Amino acid sequence: MNPDNKAAASLPPAAVGQSGASERILVMVSVPPERDAVLRGLGGDGRFDVRIGGVGAVAAAVSTAKILATNAAYRLVICAGIAGGFVGRAEIGSLVVADEIIAADLGAETAEGFCSVDELGFGSARVQVDATLAARMTEKLQAAGLSVCMGPILTVSTVTGTAETTAELAARVPGAAAEAMEGYGVASAAKSEGLPALEIRAVSNAIGPRDREAWRIKDALNALESACHVLREVLS
């Protein structure tokens, strides 16, 4: 059994996998505190496997692909964790559900500005989510009284730390709500297996000039826990 998966570990063996093939949901997080918050929210629901994939899109993609390659039972892959929020779109302690997952720095710098891999003709920096599920999740989070917005979540390789880069990203992806570092990797691995993906983030900090002291990780982890409680209902 996966030692990271306390939700499954806390159930009697008969209950684990009871839902059968293609009923399970894989939740990928980056670090142990995110896993623990997700597990608290899921409250021992045996349909979910919660796994740590590491920080960054490459680590997340490799970890997710390995898990999916050795287990055919999943019907959905979710990337969950904390994130930076664009001011005016997603405030600290609020939740963001991705309507699109975008690798915002995957491309080339040119004299005319940033050119995405899409524009370069080398594939796509965008992965679509399960739109129906994302909308239902957003509605249910709202109904539960949680502060939530739906919008593009950017995947970046470097945490944004200046006002200039913040403005550049906001202009590159109009409506961008949050940035994190793994969504594109997790969603690309899911897509390569023909599986739908979701990304759900809780905002720990405002995107902008770096101020690590201002990160409110505990508030974000509490919001992530609440979101995962609602997630059980959405997927029931």
Ligand X SMILES: O=C(O)c1cccc(C(=O)CC[C@H]2O[C@@H](n3cnc4c(=O)[nH]cnc43)[C@H](O)[C@@H]2O)c1
Instruction: Choose the stretch contacting ligand X; rule: CB under 6 A; options: 125-133, 155-163, 168-176, 188-196.
Output: 155-163
Beta bridge partners of 84: 179, 205
Nearer to ligand X, 16 or 223 (CB): 223
β-bridge pairing 107-110 and 113-116 = antiparallel
Whole-Å CA distances, 137 to 113, 144, 218, 234, 236: 36, 11, 22, 6, 12
**Residues 205 to 224 in contact with ligand X, rule: CB under 6 A:** 205, 207, 217
Rounded-to-integer distance, Cα 18 and Cα 23, Å? 9
Nearer to ligand X, 30 or 94 (CB): 30
**Residue 34 binds to ligand X (criterion: CB under 6 A):** yes
**Residue 58 binds to ligand X (criterion: CB under 6 A):** no
Q: In angstroms, what is the minimal distance from the CB of 155 to ligand X? A: 8
Q: Which of 190, 204, 227, 235 binds ligand X (CB under 6 A)?
A: 204
For ligand X, how many residues bind (rule: CB under 6 A)? 20
**Residues 85 to 104 in contact with ligand X, rule: CB under 6 A:** none
Q: In angstroms, what is the minimal distance from the CB of 107 to ligand X? A: 18
Residue carrying the six token digits 């983030």: 201
Q: Which residues contact 230 (CB under 8 A, 6 or more apart)?
A: 137, 140, 141, 144, 146
**Residue 79 binds to ligand X (criterion: CB under 6 A):** no
Nearer to ligand X, 176 or 181 (CB): 181
**Residue 156 binds to ligand X (criterion: CB under 6 A):** yes
Using Cβ positions, the residue closest to ligand X within the complex turns out to be 84
**HEC sequence for 39-104:** HHHHCCCCCEEEEECCCCHHHHHHHHHHHHHHCCCEEEEEEEEEEEECCCCCCCCCEEEEEEEEEC
Q: In angstroms, what is the minimal distance from the CB of 178 to ligand X? A: 8
Cβ-contact 207, 82 below 8 angstroms: no
Q: In angstroms, what is the minimal distance from the CB of 232 to ligand X? A: 22
Q: Which one, of 4, 220, 45, 231, lies nearest residue 138 by Cα?
A: 231
Q: Which one, of 174, 218, 182, lies nearest residue 64 by Cα?
A: 182
**Residue 11 binds to ligand X (criterion: CB under 6 A):** no
**Residue 45 binds to ligand X (criterion: CB under 6 A):** no
Q: Which of 159, 191, 193, 234 binds ligand X (CB under 6 A)?
A: 159
Binding site for ligand X (CB under 6 A): 30-31, 33-34, 55, 81-84, 156, 159-160, 179-182, 204-205, 207, 217
